Amino acid sequence: MTSKGQVSFHGSAVAPDNFLEDVVTGLSLARKELPPKYFYDARGSALFEEICTLPEYYPTRAEIALTRQHIAEIARFAGEGSELIEYGSGASTKTRILLEALEPAVYVPVDISESALRGAAALLETEFPWLNVRAVVGDFGRPLAIPAFAGAGRKVVYFPGSTIGNLTREESLAFLHMTRGQVGPGGAMLVGVDVKKDPNLLHAAYNDSQGVTAKFNLNLLSRINAELGGDFEVGKFVHYAFYNAPMGRIEMHLASLERQTANVGSYRFRFAPGESIHTENSCKYSVEEFQALAAQAGFRGEKVWMDDARLFSLHGLVAA
């Protein structure tokens, strides 16, 4: 390709009012919780990239390996000259393998983290000078305007990293329904999904020996302090992650080490010793479970690719 691509930015970051409302609502519940999308300020995004390089964190390595191994077939499935929309694109690392093989007419990375999007777009501009990039800052859990691009082919939504595992079953269904409408009949989706496996492997992946996942989790309290006038004593909370087998998910929590109170603006929250804030789920799906979920949302499961160790899956779905 010889022509020069164009890079543009659209959308806007989550308003501070929504952040405050979500924090106050979540911390007022009998079982306190916070939405995982707030992990991703600039520091959170950088810490997530560090997690991806950890020896215990197999999902990134496995997904990259399976994508490289099956890229010819993935490219045949997705087709060339498409409009490639990626939700939760972060650093767009895995996407580079697709971009080379698919040569899309336009790439639309969508992420809640403006710093991650801007960092990724700057590198893509140098590495893929021919690529048209329409970056969208926004929350994929809400209706988002995706900029139109004349002349692009089939719409293909890419959703790697098992980010879908962070959604509840209802949220996943709603998200899949939304994307099915977006890609239109015959449009496609590539979804990276972490599979059920030995709980010890799962436990290690979310309790790394260097404590990076702990820093990532605790950063949420630092972010509340910085952006919402909170006074959490971060050192009085600990990262706590375990595999909840009946629910088929890793749960991440922040547990209070003692009886304490924390203020967020004019709101006060009490914590008993050991009481936790549930900060993230990472749901694990067997191939059959995920195919059934996708079918419920109107997608036909056409292909499933896995790495040699069968740790991770990439589903090729077509809107029925």
Q: Which residues of the shown chain bind ligand SAM in the complex (CB under 6 A)?
A: 37, 40, 45, 48, 52, 60, 88-90, 94, 111-113, 116, 139-141, 160-161, 163
Parallel, antiparallel, or unpaired: how do β-strands 188-194 and 155-159 relate?
parallel
Angle at 244 (CA atoms; ends 240, 248), nearest 5 degrees:
130
Q: How far is the CB of 279 from ligand SAM (least distance, A)?
A: 12
312 token code pair: 């991770």
The maximal CA–CA distance of the chain, rounded, in angstroms, is 63
Instruction: Report the phi/psi class of residue 274: left, alpha or beta, with left for phi > 0 and alpha for psi in -120 to 50.
Output: left
How far apart are alpha carbons 284 and 103 in whole angstroms?
Answer: 31
Place of tokens 């600990």: 238
Chain residue whose CB lies nearest ligand SAM: 161
DSSP string, 66-115: HHHHTHHHHHHHH-SS-EEEEET-TT-TTHHHHHHHH--SEEEEEES-HH
Give the number of other CB atoms < 10 A from CB of residue 184. Answer: 10
**276-283, strands of its sheet edge to edge:** 237-244, 249-256, 276-283
